């Protein structure tokens, strides 16, 4: 019976009204010894009493539950309505379908007996049937129910105020969630856990102060509870009402941890969960009632504290993102600003750093789910392979995730150390790739630049990583690729940035582009011929052209270049000019993006 009462109170409760049960009413002198049937429904809550004349037929009484417009209502019925067995059974069934809490049979004809059929129907429908005395009129019963409910309401309200005052003082002092958990544990005399939105334990308190939570819980169950409660209570929270507590099993089926839980919601968004653990189950109904009040009041104040902490955390993230952005783009006012902000974020101006860029081909920065997944992945990247001597800074730029990672060696690598640094970069990139694929899917690409010293080295490494991203859209690169792996482009970088190099590429490729006309792209023809090592048939198959057409176009290209494209020297010159032109275009686009505008 205790188990049923506890479950009815905490698990099935759907409104904030005081919970007076039929069993509690039977303890009153006016109703003592009146139960004749429906004993299994003694835990039904009663909030009001109405005569049958007001509810029979189509009632306008406000619905408390779906399809149950009489939930929480005790029905005062004259005995004459139970005159026959069929009539009694029909009435009890109809009231049960409408969710009535109890039926109170009053002897309007002065005869208290004749309720055998009604009693059997009460046992079937689990609605308690009470055989009243002549003195138990509707007026006296209604007064009794109202008095009990008001008394219970006053008691709950008084206790709620005491709990709110105790927790409010902790919140006003700014002591944090740990102090709030300890206060709730002291009030409930049971272990308390406060969970975050992702199911992580933010604070806990128990009989003894330990670093570990006082009980074992299943994180998956906690996460499901937070998600479900956030959906179920969003409307109530948005209207400013107190979130309701209910019982839940937080552990496994073999080792269940029963607790009174209340969702922590702010403006309808789930922020976490408050759990007051029940050491004994089934728990005492009075304890469950008190723990429900503590959980509800604690959830409200914990939401305010979590909102404050989230605001502070978001402000810190924005400041850190601004610092990382300044590092990547070299946008510090002067060395004094760089030194001051570097000390705050533990950035070593003499250390060596490399920049990794994570791209996802189907990432849409305008879609909220994509943004949330990317934000979670960005935070996770900051915790990848933690090392107190190696700083990791992360940020999001559009659809990219940027990771700045400090390298183990703090001095420029010597001849024997360059390979070790390259291996370290590759190792971290592969670890980052595995983590990002788990969180974002298989379309992830990881690129990175070479290591550099200080803030200038970060900016150079970022530029190299972005160059690799851009080249990956023009040439085939692996899913994990460093700038130095694009050996040709790395080797001709200085040539591509020089005026003679760009002039060479333009003068060599321009005749091919001018001669294109309506006959097709001669530059594409020559490059395909070069990629196939001068094999005419293979190049024709690559471009899906007839062999004679391919031959004709190669002859036109030779005339435009005034050089024979079948010669290896000519092929090398065109190949080199194409690579210089590609790299020059990438650098030009990056210059427009990375160089701050001048007024």
Question: Bridge partners of 480?
Answer: 446
**In the numeric block, which tokens belong to residue 390?**
């190696």
Question: Bridge partners of 352?
Answer: 453
What's the pLDDT at 102? 93
* DSSP-H helix ranges across 473-594: 487-491, 493-497, 499-514, 522-531, 536-543, 547-561, 568-594
Q: Which residues contact 285 (CB under 8 A, 6 or more apart)?
A: 2, 5, 6, 9
DSSP codes, 407-420: -S-SS---TTTHHH
CA 173 to chain centre: 29
What's the pLDDT at 446? 92
The pairing of beta strand 444-448 with beta strand 480-482: parallel
DSSP codes, 252-308: -SSS--EEEEEEEEETTEEEEEEEEE-SSSSPPHHHHHHHHHHHHHHHHHHHHHHHH
Tens-digit pLDDT string for the chain (599 aa):
333 333 333 333 433 445 788 988 998 898 988 999 999 998 888 988 999 888 865 444 444 444 567 888 999 999 888 888 888 888 998 898 888 999 999 887 666 567 888 888 999 889 999 999 888 899 999 999 988 888 877 877 888 888 888 888 888 877 788 888 888 888 888 888 888 877 788 888 886 666 667 677 767 777 777 776 555 554 444 444 445 778 777 766 667 788 888 888 877 778 888 888 888 787 777 788 888 888 888 888 888 888 888 888 888 888 888 999 889 888 888 888 888 888 888 899 889 999 999 988 766 667 777 777 888 888 888 888 888 788 999 998 888 899 999 988 644 555 556 678 888 899 999 999 999 988 888 888 999 999 999 999 999 999 888 888 888 877 777 889 988 887 777 777 778 778 888 888 888 888 888 876 555 588 888 888 888 888 888 888 888 888 888 888 888 888 888 888 888 888 888 888 888 888 887 777 777 766 655 44
**In the numeric block, which tokens belong to residue 313?**
């955390």
103 phi and psi angles, rounded to 5 deg = -120, 125
Q: Which residues contact 159 (CB under 8 A, 6 or more apart)?
A: 290, 293
What's the pLDDT at 79? 86
Q: How far, in Å, CA of 79 to CA of 26, rounded?
A: 19
What's the pLDDT at 447? 92
What's the pLDDT at 411? 47
Going along the chain from its start, the domains and CATH numbers come out as 2-153 (3.40.1390), 174-310 (3.30.450.40), 330-491 (3.30.70.1230), 494-594 (1.10.10.2840)
154 burial class (0-12, 13-18, 19+ CB within 10 angstroms)?
exposed
What's the pLDDT at 547? 85
Residue 41's nearest CA partner among 87, 99, 81, 85 is 99
- Nearest-Å Rg of the Cα atoms of the chain is 38
Q: How far, in Å, CA of 103 to CA of 40, rounded?
A: 14
How big is the CA angle at 212 (ends 207 and 218), to the nearest 5 degrees?
105
What's the pLDDT at 61? 42
Phi-psi region of 215 (alpha: psi -120 to 50; beta: other; left: phi over 0): beta
What's the pLDDT at 170? 83
Q: What is the 3-state secondary structure (H, E, C) of 353-410?
A: EEEEEEEECCCCCCCHHHHHHHHHHHHHHHCCCCECCECEEEEEECCEEEEEEECCCC
Beta-sheet strands, E only, within 9-144:
20-21, 35-37, 45-46, 48-51, 73-78, 102-106, 129-131
């Amino acid at each position: 019976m205790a188990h049923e009462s506890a479950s009815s109170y905490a698990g099935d409760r759907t409104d904030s009204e005081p919970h007076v049960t039929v069993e509690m009413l039977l303890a009153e002198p006016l109703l003592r010894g009146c139960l004749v049937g429906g004993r299994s429904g003694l835990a039904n809550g009663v909030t009001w009493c109405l005569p049958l004349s007001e509810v029979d037929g189509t009632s306008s009484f406000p619905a408390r539950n779906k399809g149950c417009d009489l939930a929480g209502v005790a029905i005062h019925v004259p005995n004459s309505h139970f005159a026959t067995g069929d009539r009694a059974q029909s009435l009890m069934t109809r009231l049960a379908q409408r969710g009535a809490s109890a039926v109170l049979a009053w002897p309007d004809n002065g005869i208290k007996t004749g309720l055998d059929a009604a009693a059997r129907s009460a046992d079937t429908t689990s609605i308690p049937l009470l055989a009243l005395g002549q003195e138990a009129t509707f007026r006296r019963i209604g007064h009794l129910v109202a008095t009990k409910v008001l008394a219970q309401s006053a008691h709950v309200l008084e206790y709620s105020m005491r709990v709110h005052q105790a927790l409010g003082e902790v919140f006003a002092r700014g002591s944090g969630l740990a102090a709030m958990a300890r206060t709730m544990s002291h009030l409930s005399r049971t272990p308390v856990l406060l969970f975050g939105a992702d199911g992580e334990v933010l604070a806990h308190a128990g009989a003894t102060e330990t670093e570990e939570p006082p009980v074992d819980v299943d994180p998956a169950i906690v996460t499901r509870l937070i998600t479900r409660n956030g959906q179920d209570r969003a409307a109530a929270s948005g209207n400013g009402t107190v979130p309701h507590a209910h019982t839940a099993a937080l552990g496994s089926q073999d080792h269940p941890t029963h607790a009174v839980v209340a969702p922590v919601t702010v403006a309808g968004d789930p922020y976490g969960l408050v759990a007051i653990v029940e050491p004994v189950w089934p728990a005492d109904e009075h304890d469950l009632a008190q723990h429900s009040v503590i959980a509800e009041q604690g959830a409200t104040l914990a939401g305010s504290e979590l909102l404050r902490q989230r605001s502070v955390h978001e402000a810190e993230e924005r400041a850190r993102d601004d610092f990382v952005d300044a590092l990547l783009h070299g946008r510090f006012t002067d060395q004094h600003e760089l030194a001051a902000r570097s000390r705050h974020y533990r950035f070593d101006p003499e250390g060596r750093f490399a920049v990794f860029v994570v791209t996802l081909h189907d990432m849409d920065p305008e879609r909220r789910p994509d943004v949330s997944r990317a934000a979670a992945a960005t935070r996770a990247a900051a915790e990848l392979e933690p090392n107190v001597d190696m700083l990791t800074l992360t940020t999001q730029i559009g659809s990219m995730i940027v990771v700045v990672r400090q390298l183990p060696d703090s001095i420029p690598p010597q001849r024997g150390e360059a390979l070790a640094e390259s291996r370290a970069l590759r190792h971290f990139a592969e670890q980052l790739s595995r983590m990002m694929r788990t969180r974002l899917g298989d379309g992830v690409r990881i690129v990175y630049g070479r290591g550099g010293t200080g803030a200038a080295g970060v900016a150079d490494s970022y530029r190299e990583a972005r160059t690799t991203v851009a080249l990956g859209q023009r040439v085939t690169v692996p899913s994990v690729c460093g700038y130095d792996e694009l050996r040709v482009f790395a080797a001709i970088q200085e040539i591509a940035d020089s005026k003679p190099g760009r002039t060479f590429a333009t003068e060599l490729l321009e005749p091919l582009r001018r001669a294109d006309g309506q006959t097709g792209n001669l530059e594409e023809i020559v490059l395909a011929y070069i990629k196939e090592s001068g094999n005419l048939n293979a190049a024709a198959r690559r471009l899906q052209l007839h062999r004679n057409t391919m031959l004709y176009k190669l002859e036109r290209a030779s005339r435009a270049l005034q050089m024979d494209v079948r010669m290896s020297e000519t092929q090398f010159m065109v190949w080199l000019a194409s690579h210089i032109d590609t790299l020059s275009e990438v650098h030009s686009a990056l210059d427009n993006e990375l160089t701050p505008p001048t007024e």
